[in-house]
Amino acid sequence: MTQTQTITKGISQEVEEISEQIITWRRYLHANPEASLKEYKTAAYIKQELDKLNVPYRSIGETGVLAEIQGGQGSGKTILLRADIDALELNDDKNVSYKSQNQGLNHACGHDGHTASLLGAVKVLKDNQANFKGTIRFAFQQAEEIGAGARIFVDEGALENVDTVFGIHLDSSVEVGKLVSVSGATNASCDIIKIQIQGKSTHIASPHLGSSALLTAVSIINEAQKLVAANVDPTENALIGFGVLNSGTRYNIVPNQATIEGTLRAFSFESRQKLLDALENLAKATAQLQGTQVEIDIYDAAAPLINDSSYAQFGAQVAAGIVGAQNVIQQKEKSFGADDFADFLAVAPGVYARVGTRNLDNEATHFAHHHNQFDIDERSLLLAAQYHINYALTFLENE
C-alpha cells in the first residue's frame, strides 16, 4: 500500500470549510448524551443529518445506524469506518455552553467527537462520491461502553464483504496535532466475572457446623491474584481484579451467601482463555474444599484489540500525509481499557487509530477519559475527520 497521489488533495481544505458544522454536531451530541442501548435520540439525530446529506442508511439493532456511499468510478473494495455513539452514566461538571443537559449522563469518553468527526467524513466523501471507486460504509455504533454494540453490527451483516475496518478514538493523553497508529495488541480483552457462593449459616462461635460463603469468596479473590503469574508468559501483561464483595447480615453469623464481581483482562486470545479456565477451576476447587457451592457467570464484553501490522503501517503512512511523519506515534503503551472495535477486527483486518486532543496550554483538555470534567481541543475533530477520509480514499485507490 502507498499513499494516494491525487484523490486526497484538497481534502484538508474541504474539512476546514465544514469545521463549524463538525463542532456544532459535537456540541449538540455532548449536550444530549444517552446511555448504552438507549441512544434513540442520538440515532434519530444521526439519521436526520444523513438525510440532509442524501446518504442512504439502515438501522442496526434499535439504536445503531449503518450508512453507505458507493463510489461513482465503479465497484471495487469495501471499507467500514466506525464511530461509537453512547455516553457514560456520569455527571458533567464542566462550566461550558454545551454541558450535558441530561442529568447523570456525560460524553466523558469522546464518543460525541467520534460521531461528529465521522459525520464530517460522510459529508466530504459524499461530495467526492464521483471521484472514487468502491464502497464506504459508516458504522455509528451503539453500546461500546458495555461491550454490546459491535457484535450487533456483526450479527446483522454490517461487515459482509468488508475488506478492512478503520476506527478512531480521541485520546486526551496525546497532544492535539498528533495521530497514533500502533501495530499489534493495543487494548486488553474484558470479561466481567460474577461468582455467587452458597454456604451454610451457623453461629460464628460454632463455625464447624456451617460453611462460610464469605471465606470462600475471600479465598477465591486472594488465590486469583496468583493465576496470572502461574499461567501467563512473564513477557505478557494480564490482570484479574475484583471490585465487589457482598456477604453477611450480622457480625456473629457465618454467612451462607456471598457474591464477588470483577474482571479479567488480557492482550492475547490464548492468555485470555487460559486464565478464564484457571479461574473457573480455582473457584470450583475452593468451594469443594470449603463445603460451599459456586455459580460462575462470565460476560464476554470485548476480545483483545489487535491491530493488523500491515494496516497499522498503512495507517501511519496516511497519518504522515496529514500531520507529517514527526507527528505520528507508532509505539504506545498498551491499555487495559477494552474496546469492542475488537469484534470488527475479528471479522476483517484493520486498525484502531487514535487522535490527540490535549492542548498543552489548556488544562481543561488534560482530564482523563471517564472523568466528570473531560473535554477536548476541538481542533482534533478536524484531524479525525480527515484521517477517516484519507484512510478510506487511499485504501480504495490502491490495489
Mean pLDDT confidence for 188-194: 97
- Please determine, for residue 339, whether its predicted confidence score (pLDDT) is greater than 50: yes
Mean pLDDT confidence for 101-105: 98
pLDDT, tens digit, 9 for 90 and up, residues 361-384? 999 999 999 999 999 999 999 999
CA distances in angstroms from 122 to 8, 61, 263, 281, listed in the order given:
14, 21, 37, 49
Query: Would you tell me which CATH number, out of the four given (3.40.50.720, 3.20.20.150, 1.10.260.40, 3.30.70.360), belongs to the domain 190-302?
Result: 3.30.70.360
Mean pLDDT confidence for 52-56: 98
- Please determine, for residue 6, whether its predicted confidence score (pLDDT) is greater than 60: no
- Please determine, for residue 5, whether its predicted confidence score (pLDDT) is greater than 80: no
Active site residue 84: no
DSSP assignment of 61-99 equals TTTEEEEEEE-TT----EEEEEEE---BSS-----STT-
In this prediction, residue 10 carries a pLDDT of: 67
In this prediction, residue 8 carries a pLDDT of: 58
Active site residue 144: yes
In this prediction, residue 111 carries a pLDDT of: 98
To which H or E segment does residue 290 belong?
A: helix 269-290
Q: Considering the domain 11-185+306-397, what is its CATH architecture?
A: 3-Layer(aba) Sandwich (3.40)
Q: Choosing from 34, 84, 92, 144, which is the catalytic residue? A: 144
- Please determine, for residue 9, whether its predicted confidence score (pLDDT) is greater than 70: no
In this prediction, residue 154 carries a pLDDT of: 98
pLDDT, tens digit, 9 for 90 and up, residues 72-90? 999 999 999 999 999 999 9
Length of the chain: 399
Type of residue found at 163: D
Strand blocks (E) in the chain: 57-60, 64-70, 78-84, 135-141, 164-175, 179-180, 184-187, 190-198, 202-203, 238-247, 253-254, 257-266, 293-302, 305-307, 328-329, 350-358
In this prediction, residue 11 carries a pLDDT of: 79
Mean pLDDT confidence for 19-40: 98
For the chain, the structural domain boundaries read 11-185+306-397, 190-302
The rounded mean pLDDT for the chain is 96
CA distances in angstroms from 296 to 220, 230, 275, 289, 290, listed in the order given:
12, 21, 14, 17, 17
What is the band of 254 on the pLDDT scale with cuts at 50, 70, 90?
very high
Cell of 16: 476546514
- pTM check: above 0.85: yes
Q: Choosing from 49, 86, 308, 377, which is the catalytic residue? A: 86
In this prediction, residue 3 carries a pLDDT of: 35
Q: Is 367 exposed, middle or buried (0-12, 13-18, 19+ CB in 10 A)?
A: middle
pLDDT, tens digit, 9 for 90 and up, residues 118-131? 999 999 999 999 99
- Please determine, for residue 284, whether its predicted confidence score (pLDDT) is greater than 80: yes
